[in-house]
Amino acid sequence: MSDSCKTFSLLITSPPWSSQAHITALNFAKSIINKKHTLYRIFFYSDATHVGTNSAVAPQDEKDLPSEWKELAKEHNIDLVVCISAGIKRGVLDANEQSRYETPANTLREGYELSGLGQLVDAIIKSDRVISF
Amino acid sequence: MKKNILVIMRSAPYGQSRARDAIDLILTSAAYDQEISVLFQSDGIFQLIAEQQPKELGLKNINAQISAFEMYDIEAVYYDQESLSARGLKPEQLNDQIKPVSNSEIQSLLNQADTVLTF
């Protein structure tokens, strides 16, 4: 196996609070960066989209997963995409969707983007490896 | 750019949304003109049962959506023969558009794929 640099993306489908998947994925993401590979996009699908809810508050004695993803993404210029179809049915709506469906609030966390499954296909096309959690 | 994407369906059709989520991804990949293959394995075999009546559950028929793959030019759609016999099912109980594959054929599907996603 050569140590040439590769481009990775992550597909996360597991829920943030009732599974260990996000913690494992975060550690994996940090390893990718430490090993000088490129992390292109993190795509949150299915129950993983709950991580993009801005009204969720992490308990003080637990890892603040939504903020950790956001900080990692900001520092290393990684796309954090919440699937729009999976997100809006779980109450994750950005300003556009909020006005379209006339819901009470913009609930998308800052630093996250709400977009379609095409962003996952684009990540598959542009990455050497897509790892699922 | 075109990638060879293999989606492995290992979940039962109802009870969880994994099958439905995977189908949405498969159809989107096809719309983006990717080379896509689909393998039904393990409990994913149950998605192919021809006589499904999910209306009773208030859910959409997964097998009907799988039958529509052809319209999207998704033709490399297979099921694992071993998973079928392990569940006491017969090929004639399944959606007849789907082709059986052996373990060695599954190996080559995996080898050909640029990306493998399991649902």
The torsion angles phi and psi of B79, rounded to 5 degrees, stand at -125, 150
Q: Say which of A117, A126, A132 has its CB closest to residue B28.
A: A117
A63 Cβ contact list (under 8 Å, min separation 6): A23
Provide the sign of the torsion angle of the four alpha carbons A110, A125, A26, A65, taken in this order: positive
Interface touch B24/A122, C-beta < 8 Å: no
Q: How confident is the model at residue A76 (pLDDT cuts 50, 70, 90)?
A: very high
Tokens of B61: 């028929």
* Strand-by-strand arrangement of the B99-101 sheet: B99-101, B76-80, B35-40, B4-9, B115-118
Tokens of A88: 């809006």
Q: What is the pLDDT of residue A4?
A: 85
* Distance from the B110 Cα atom to the nearest Cα atom in chain A, whole angstroms: 14
Cα(B11)–Cα(B43) distance, rounded to whole angstroms? 5
Q: How confident is the model at residue B1 (pLDDT cuts 50, 70, 90)?
A: confident
Which of chain A's residues have a Cβ under 8 Å away from the Cβ of B115? 124, 127, 129-130
ipTM of the complex: 0.93
Q: What is the pLDDT of residue A2?
A: 53
The torsion angles phi and psi of A104, rounded to 5 degrees, stand at -65, -25
Average of pLDDT values for B16-40? 96
pTM above 0.90, yes or no: yes
* A5 annotated active-site: no
C-alpha angle B76-B31-A47 in degrees, rounded to nearest 5: 90
Is the pLDDT assigned to residue B18 strictly greater than 60? Answer: yes
The radius of gyration of chain A from alpha carbons, rounded to an integer in Å, stands at 15
